[in-house]
C-alpha cells in the first residue's frame, strides 16, 4: 500500500501563456491546475489505481452513493512559494489525520497518512509552475473523498475514490485586511449533538448555505452558529473557528465539543500564542459573555480563522435582537500580529521553529 505506484499522464492542459494569464488575478476557487490525483478504494482491494491525470470530469454513475446519501468528506490546505523559490505545504499530516477522523464518522475508508501526503507531493510537483510567485498568493489544495459505488441501498459504500485538485488563490482580502460583520444564526443550525459537526463533510456546508444567505440579506459576510440547545454557547462560523481576545491578551476559543471542526489554523494559533506567554482558554464561550465583555471593556478583539483567510478580524456580531460592535473600524492589534506571524512562517519570511512546513520542491541552486 505504502509503495503504491502512481501512474502519470504528463500532458499539460493549458499553455504557459494561458496559465500566466490566469495567475495575474486568480481569485478563489475559479481556476484549476493541469492535473489531479485519483486513487480508488474498494472493499476487496483496498486503495489501488493511484494516478496523476489531466484535470477534468470524472466518470460518475447516476446511482453513485454520494449523489444520494451524501457520503463525502474533504480537506483544504495550501502550497506556498518561499522567497528562495522552494515550495512548501503547512502541516499536511494534520490534514491527513483529520480526513481520517472525518472518514470514520462518515463510514468511509481511511487512507494511510503517508499515501495522503504523497498524493499532495505528486500533484504539487507536477503542477509546481501553478504555485503563484506573487505576494500573498498560494495554491489551494482540495483533497476529497466520495463514495462512488453504484447502489441505492442504504449502507456504507464498498467503493470510494480519493481525489486531489488544486486551484491558485489570490489574497483573500484584496486591498488590505478588513474586519467583517457576522450574523448570529438563531433558528438554523449546521450541526447538533451527535451529528457530523466535527467532521469536514459537504453535508455540514449544505446546511450552512441558507443561514449564510440570511447573513448576506442582513448585510453580514459570515454566519456564527451556536449550540442548538442553549442558543448561547458559541460553536463556530460556517467554515472558520472563532477566538475572542481579552484586554489582558488572553485568548478565548470554544473547546472542541464534538460539534465544531478542529481547525489546524486554530491549533497553530493556540501554539503561537502560548509561545508568546499568552493565556489561552479552550472552554465553553457564550454570546452573553462576548456582549458583556465588549460592554465593560474586557473583550477588545474577535477574529475567525481557517486556511483560506488565515485570520479574519471581526468588526461586529449582529442578530435580529442586538448588535455587538467593537466601534472601531481597524482590525485588532493582537489579531493582526498573530496573522502576520502565521503567514510569515507559511511564506518563509519567519523561522519555522515548530517544524510545520513540509518541503515539496527544494530551493533552486543559485
Ligand atoms: C475547514 C474548516 C475550518 C478551518 O480549519 P483549518 O484547518 O484551520 O482550515 C473551520 N470550521 C469548519 C467548519 C471547517 O470546515
Shared domain check, 219 and 152: no
- Are 356 and 268 in contact by the 8 Å Cβ rule? The answer is yes
Q: Is 99 in the pocket of ligand 1 (CB under 6 A)?
A: no
Give me the pLDDT at residue 365, please.
66
Would 280 be classed as within a structural domain? yes
Mean pLDDT value of segment 271-288? 98
Our answer on whether the CB atom of 264 is closer than 6 Å to any ligand 1 atom is: yes
Total domains in the chain come to 2
Residue 249 inside a domain? The answer is yes
Residue 360 lies in a domain: no
Best mutation site among 189, 261, 304, 311 for ligand 1 pocket (most ligand atoms within 8 Å of CB): 261
Task: Write down the pLDDT at residue 327.
Answer: 73
Q: Is 269 helix (H, G, I), strand (E, B) or coil?
A: helix
* Cβ of residue 143 lying under 6 Å from some atom of ligand 1: no
pLDDT in tens, 234-252: 999 999 999 999 999 999 9
**Is residue 366 very low, low, confident or very high in pLDDT (cuts 50, 70, 90)?**
low
Last residue of a domain, one of 123, 148, 169: 169
Last residue of a domain, one of 142, 169, 196: 169
Assign 127 a pLDDT band (cuts: 50, 70, 90): very high
Shared domain check, 225 and 92: no
* Residues 219 and 127 both lie in one domain: no
Q: How far is the CA of 61 from the centre of ligand 1 (A)?
A: 30
Angstrom distances, CA of residue 222 to CA of 93, 278, 305: 28, 28, 12
Q: What's residue 228's pLDDT?
A: 83
Same domain, yes or no: 119 and 142: yes
* Mean per-residue pLDDT, 130-141: 95
Give the residue whose CA is nearest to atom 2 of ligand 1. Answer: 239
Least confidently predicted of 8-12, 66-70, 117-121, 162-166: 8-12
Cβ–ligand 1 distance for 240 under 6 Å, the answer yes
Which residue(s) pair with 317 in the sheet? 182, 324
Identify the domain containing residue 243 by its residue range: 180-331
**Among 212, 214, 218, which residue's Cα sits nearest to residue 190?**
212
Positive or negative, the Cα torsion across 340, 345, 351, 352?
positive
Q: What pLDDT digit, counting tens, does each position of 53-100 carry?
A: 999 999 999 999 999 999 999 999 999 999 999 999 999 999 999 999
Given 147, 169, 191, the domain boundary residue is 169
Q: Is 290's pLDDT higher than 90?
A: yes
Tell whether ligand 1 has an atom less than 6 A from the beta carbon of residue 170: no
- Shared domain check, 150 and 41: yes
Ligand 1 atom 15, closest CA:
239
- The set of cell numbers assigned to 322 is 442586538
Please report, rounded to a whole number, the percentage of residues in the chain having pLDDT higher than 90. 90
Mean pLDDT of the chain: 95
Ligand 1 atom at minimum distance from 98 CA: 7
233 — pLDDT class (breaks 50, 70, 90):
very high
Claim to verify: residue 138 and residue 192 sit in the same structural domain: no
User: 201 lies in a domain?
Assistant: yes
Whether residue 199 lies inside any domain: the answer is yes
Average pLDDT value for residue range 140-160 = 96
* Higher pLDDT pick, 175 / 70: 70
Nearest CA to 55 among 115, 10, 114?
10
Task: Specify whether the backbone of 329 is left (phi greater than 0), alpha (psi in -120 to 50) or beta.
Answer: alpha
Cβ(203) to ligand 1 under 6 A?
A: no
Is the beta carbon of 254 within 6 A of some atom in ligand 1? no
Q: Looking at the structure, tell me whether residues 224 and 153 fall in a common domain.
A: no
In a shared domain, residues 218 and 153: no
Percentage of the chain surpassing pLDDT 70?
98
How many Å lie between the centroid of ligand 1 and the Cα of residue 241? Answer: 7
Dihedral sign of CA atoms 264, 239, 280, 235 in order: negative
| Nearest CA, atom 14, ligand 1 | 239
Cα 7 to chain centroid distance, Å, stands at 28
Q: What is the pLDDT of residues 10-57, one digit of tens each?
A: 888 999 999 999 999 999 999 999 999 999 999 999 999 999 999 999
Q: Do residues 99 and 187 share a domain?
A: no
Residue 361 lies in a domain: no
Atom of ligand 1 nearest to the CA of 267: 8
Q: Which three cell numbers stand for residue 200?
A: 469536514
Q: Quick check: is 354 in a domain?
A: no
Pocket test for ligand 1, best of 142, 208, 240, 266 (most atoms within 8 A of CB): 240
CATH number (domain holding residue 284): 3.20.10.10
50 φ/ψ sector (left φ>0, alpha ψ -120 to 50, else beta): beta
- Whether 349 is covered by a domain: the verdict is no
State residue 124's pLDDT score. 98
197 lines ligand 1 (CB under 6 A): no
Q: Are 248 and 295 contained in the same domain?
A: yes
CA of 89 to the centre of ligand 1 (A): 16
89 and 236 together in one domain: no
pLDDT of res. 176: 80
Instruction: State the cell numbers at 149.
Output: 459505488
CB of residue 346 inside a 6 A radius of ligand 1: no
Check which CATH number belongs to the domain holding 46 and give it: 3.30.470.10
Q: Is 239 in the pocket of ligand 1 (CB under 6 A)?
A: yes
Question: Do residues 184 and 322 share a domain?
Answer: yes
Query: How many helices (H) and strands (E) in the chain?
Result: 8, 18
- Does the beta carbon of 241 lie inside 6 Å of ligand 1? yes
- pLDDT tens, residue by residue, 295-344: 999 999 999 999 999 999 999 999 999 999 987 678 999 999 999 999 99
Amino acid at each position: 500500500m505504502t509503495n503504491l505506484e502512481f501512474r502519470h499522464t504528463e500532458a499539460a492542459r493549458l499553455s504557459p501563456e494561458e496559465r500566466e494569464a490566469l495567475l495575474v488575478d486568480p481569485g478563489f476557487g475559479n481556476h484549476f491546475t493541469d492535473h489531479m490525483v485519483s486513487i480508488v478504494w474498494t472493499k476487496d482491494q483496498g486503495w489501488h489505481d493511484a494516478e496523476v491525470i489531466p484535470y477534468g470530469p470524472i466518470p460518475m454513475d447516476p446511482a453513485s452513493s454520494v449523489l444520494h446519501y451524501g457520503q463525502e468528506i474533504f480537506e483544504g490546505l495550501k502550497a506556498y512559494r518561499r522567497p528562495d523559490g522552494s515550495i512548501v505545504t503547512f502541516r499536511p499530516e494534520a490534514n491527513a489525520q483529520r480526513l481520517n477522523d472525518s472518514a470514520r464518522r462518515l463510514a468511509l475508508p481511511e487512507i494511510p497518512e503517508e499515501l495522503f501526503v504523497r498524493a499532495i507531493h505528486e500533484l504539487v510537483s507536477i503542477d509546481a509552475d501553478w504555485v503563484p510567485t506573487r505576494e500573498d498568493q498560494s495554491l489551494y489544495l482540495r483533497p476529497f473523498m466520495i463514495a462512488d459505488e453504484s447502489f441505492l441501498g442504504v449502507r456504507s459504500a464498498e467503493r470510494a475514490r480519493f481525489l486531489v485538485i488544486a486551484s491558485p488563490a489570490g489574497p483573500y482580502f484584496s486591498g488590505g485586511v478588513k474586519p467583517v460583520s457576522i450574523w448570529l444564526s438563531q433558528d438554523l443550525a449546521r450541526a447538533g449533538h451527535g451529528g457530523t459537526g466535527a467532521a469536514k463533510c459537504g453535508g455540514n456546508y449544505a446546511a450552512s448555505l441558507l443561514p449564510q444567505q440570511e447573513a448576506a440579506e442582513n448585510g453580514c459576510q459570515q454566519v456564527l452558529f451556536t449550540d442548538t440547545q442553549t442558543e448561547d454557547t458559541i460553536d463556530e462560523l460556517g467554515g472558520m473557528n472563532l477566538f475572542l481576545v481579552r484586554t489582558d491578551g488572553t485568548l478565548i476559543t470554544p473547546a472542541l465539543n464534538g460539534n465544531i471542526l478542529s481547525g489546524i489554523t486554530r491549533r497553530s494559533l493556540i501554539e503561537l500564542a502560548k509561545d508568546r506567554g499568552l493565556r489561552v482558554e479552550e472552554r465553553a464561550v457564550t454570546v452573553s459573555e462576548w456582549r458583556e465583555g465588549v460592554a465593560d471593556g474586557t473583550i477588545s478583539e474577535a477574529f475567525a480563522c481557517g486556511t483560506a483567510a488565515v485570520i479574519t478580524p471581526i468588526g461586529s456580531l449582529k442578530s435580529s435582537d442586538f448588535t455587538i460592535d467593537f466601534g472601531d473600524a481597524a482590525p485588532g492589534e493582537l489579531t493582526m500580529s498573530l496573522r502576520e506571524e502565521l503567514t510569515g512562517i507559511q511564506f518563509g519570511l519567519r523561522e519555522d521553529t515548530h517544524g510545520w512546513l513540509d518541503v515539496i520542491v527544494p530551493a533552486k541552486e543559485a
